[in-house]
């Protein structure tokens, strides 16, 4: 198995609402609105939105009903961008679970929660490189 | 907010066991084993393993205890690679929730579930391009 993640699918209860939320953050999808799924090109990977019940059945798992131990993160280029993204998410209807602030690991982050309850950490990590194209490069040990 | 996902963190109950599972799939991390977190470079993004309780607290959410509506996927280059990855995961101790087979969307996929209950879809999607570096390119509409 190559060391990569191709796609993350977020299960949602209202596909149109979920798509509109991510569109309000400035994201664009070419997926036909009649398709029953939405795909966003996210750098070299893809973020999908799909009905949560369909995703649970397709994934062969029972739905615990809440959060299930997976949190995506967006690494910003500065502390100011963290705060700006949290404001943008708030304006789009997200709940802010944690306002931007210093973290125990020497960075700065906050958390927004999308309309389906999926948290996103928004972080500035001074130890990691965010390249011009948005990709992340871990430090070499 | 730029259209990208920098990091996905999987909450785990035993960090050493989780790291060993992904290592058995051929993944390598430079993270110091004493750090309390593990980072894998996955193309231009990062996959992290961290204690599930710590992740829930950091994410500002209640833990539903099971699966929570997020499934990552690995897009293989062929149907044969789908089956090979599922076998590799089985040998590493994963539960196979769905054996490789034809899908309703014209592809071929199966699902393995890691030792912490996180499902991974392993798919061959003939409509999507997997580039040499492993990145995915959605078709243009």
- What is the value of pTM for the model shown? 0.97
Task: Provide the pLDDT for residue A18.
Answer: 98
ipTM above 0.90, yes or no: yes
The whole-angstrom distance between A16's CA and the closest CA on chain B is 17
Residue B141 has pLDDT above 70, yes or no: no
DSSP letter string, A10-62: EEES-HHHHHHHHHHTT----S-TTSSEEEEEETTEEEEEEEHHHHHHHHT--
**Whether B9 contacts chain A with CB within 8 A:** yes
Q: Which domains does chain A have, with CATH numbers?
A: 1-63 (3.10.180.10), 71-141 (3.10.180.10)
Structure tokens at A49: 């939105």
> Which residues make beta-bridge pairs with A123?
A75, A109
> Which range (A17-21, B48-52, B62-66) has the least confidence?
B62-66
**pLDDT value at B11 more than 70:** yes
Mean predicted confidence (pLDDT) in B2-17: 98
Give residues 28 to 47 of A whose Cβ lies within 8 Å of B: 28, 30-32, 39-47
């Amino acid at each position: 198995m190559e060391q990569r993640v191709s796609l993350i699918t977020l299960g949602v209860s209202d596909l149109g609402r979920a798509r509109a939320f991510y569109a309000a953050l400035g994201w664009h999808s070419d997926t036909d609105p009649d398709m029953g799924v939405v795909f966003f090109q996210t750098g070299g990977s893809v973020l999908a939105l799909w009905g949560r019940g369909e995703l649970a059945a397709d994934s062969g798992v029972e739905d615990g009903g809440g959060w299930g131990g997976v949190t995506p993160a967006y690494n910003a280029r500065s502390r100011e961008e963290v705060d700006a993204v949290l404001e943008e998410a708030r304006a789009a209807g997200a709940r802010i679970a944690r306002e931007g602030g210093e973290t125990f690991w020497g960075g700065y982050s906050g958390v927004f929660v999308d309309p389906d309850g999926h948290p996103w950490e928004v972080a500035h990590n001074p130890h990691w490189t965010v390249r011009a194209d948005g990709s992340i490069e871990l430090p070499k040990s």
